[in-house]
Structure 1
């Protein structure tokens, strides 16, 4: 089997509140799949790419749930391992009328956190054209951090392109200094780096998208795309740079998963050999679709849905939500 994009990380069973309000006041929850890397995997699979996802899940009912959901989305899980004696991670998420929901994790010591270099399936990764990763796995454990560095080194050695979304999760790191050092250590080894503007400011100490991009460009990153929320995105390579305006969204339903949707747009656009500006425009469109839908991946479109959305609405047009 040939794989277009390989990714790895932790998927969790998400229990999200059915009524708006504080998380501790919620009385009923629905279950769904969650995890930054699996959001990207599912988004790319819906666009017709062949996707491989590698991880560990517990030998429990929630591990079975995760694997079944990914099978439905046609994500290849042939190298996922089940671990007896370790539980699958869980998260609880509040329901909001707009903006950012409250999220609580129960993932310490999870099955995925035990992934180590010894679990790395070299031939499986080697067959992929591209690898996407986030800054979450190296925060989960020492073993996962080593796995992450090993995967980067091996894929670079094999001549594969690597995209990296920092996806900063402050609560998973021992301190900010460790987080910044570790993320930047990985970022400068990636080909396509995708920080949000606030993440870029924190990671570099600079304030503008141009300065943030220059910081990483000078360290060998080939493409930096800084996400600017509703304003769109700024991109820079050694040859050119520019701003691509976003899609104005009238009502934000749920912001979780927007950055993952953006990554889907960049990766799919570049693998489809679109001009860079068009790839960034696609990323803005999928990010907009993501925030207009509840849950992490409900808004991730098929190719037909994406085409219809981008054809019907130009940049900066109001979108009902």
Structure 2
């Protein structure tokens, strides 16, 4: 029986502001943040982060960080002369903004070896990717990736996808909509965020988002909406689940990604969608009370099991 979990995308170097002019370096990226939560909450599954890495000291330290937390890299290629992308977080209260240096990141070559990519996705219970994963790739690389995902889905692997629309990564909105439509064709579980969908599609409500994704053929949908209720569509039956209220969040970085990881972990455990969303809300509520995208594993487990 397939037990592995794979997330596909770009894990970057993260600089977060400290006191004065000091900065703390960590590792983060949307799909990696989700996998981090799944590593904490799915102890019975082997997890791999599928990407491409450089051969510089920062890439080597990143891979070592993964290994120290029992996260593999499967057959991800190492690209001579390449290096990781970098971003810096600045906060205004709990709200964050980002500055990126990523145009030549190694992760853009994650589909450069189709045979290794195929091998990396074999024998999985779940494969997870996002619109950011697709946005950083060339047209041919996107096709290679989506074909590899479709092949694993045909073998019984479940595919989860967060459209995670970031306008600066796309030539225009029409290009993003076209590629996301292709991704939805191979998706079993969609995890969109309503403000993103409102921006990209003009959806008037989370219900509009859910119904549009139902028409695209997605069987299980959770529309996140910040501190508002999440809307579930499970085989076209809608259910709203209130969010966990946090009076004074410290840092909202990674909250939606951690929600995704908790939801998917719960579903792998056989927990029904509504209860899975309640647990995901609790985990997201815990994450906004710590600095940075990656909360300690024990902290995530406590929130998930409460």
Normalization by structure 2: what TM-score?
0.91
Partners of 2:267 and 2:276 within 8 A in 1: yes
Please give the secondary structure, in 1, of the residue aligned with 2:72. Answer: coil
- Superposed CA offset, 1:213-256 (max 9, x none): 11111221001111121123010122522111111001122222
Please give the secondary structure, in 2, of the residue aligned with 1:136. Answer: helix
Equivalent residue for 2:126? 130
Equivalent residue for 1:109? 104
Over the aligned positions, Cα root-mean-square deviation in angstroms equals 2.0
Aligned residue among 9, 31, 39 for 2:25: 31
CA distance in 2, matches of 1:195, 1:150: 22
Partners of 2:244 and 2:285 within 8 A in 1: yes
Indicate yes or no: 2:83 matched with 1:87: yes
Equivalent residue for 1:4? 4
Partners of 2:161 and 2:187 within 8 A in 1: yes
Equivalent residue for 2:175? 178
CA distance in 2, matches of 1:304, 1:34: 19
CA distance in 2, matches of 1:267, 1:301: 18
Q: How many residues are matched?
A: 302
Indicate yes or no: 2:70 matched with 1:70: no
CA deviation after TM superposition for structure 1 residue 117, in Å: 5.3
CA deviation after TM superposition for structure 1 residue 58, in Å: 1.1
Partners of 1:116 and 1:146 within 8 A in 2: no
CA distance in 1, matches of 2:46, 2:123: 11
Please give the secondary structure, in 1, of the residue aligned with 2:127. Answer: strand
Structure 2, unmatched stretches of 5+, are none
Indicate yes or no: 2:165 matched with 1:168: yes
Equivalent residue for 2:211? 214
CA distance in 2, matches of 1:238, 1:12: 36
Please give the secondary structure, in 1, of the residue aligned with 2:18. Answer: strand
Please give the secondary structure, in 2, of the residue aligned with 1:254. Answer: coil
150-159 or 263-272: which moved more? 150-159
1:1-321 to 2 correspondence within 5 Å?
Answer: 3-19=3-19, 27-47=21-41, 48=43, 49-99=45-95, 101-116=96-111, 118-119=113-114, 120-142=116-138, 143-238=140-235, 240-298=237-295, 301=298, 304-307=301-304, 310=306
CA deviation after TM superposition for structure 1 residue 43, in Å: 1.0
CA distance in 1, matches of 2:111, 2:74: 17
CA distance in 2, matches of 1:158, 1:240: 27
Partners of 2:280 and 2:304 within 8 A in 1: no
CA distance in 2, matches of 1:227, 1:118: 34
Structure 1, unmatched stretches of 5+, are 20-25, 311-321
CA distance in 1, matches of 2:158, 2:242: 26
Please give the secondary structure, in 1, of the residue aligned with 2:253. Answer: coil
CA deviation after TM superposition for structure 1 residue 168, in Å: 1.7
Partners of 2:16 and 2:88 within 8 A in 1: yes
What stretches of structure 1 move > 3 A for 4+ residues in a row? 299-304
Normalization by structure 1: what TM-score?
0.87
Partners of 1:225 and 1:233 within 8 A in 2: yes
CA deviation after TM superposition for structure 1 residue 63, in Å: 0.2
138-147 or 289-298: which moved more? 138-147
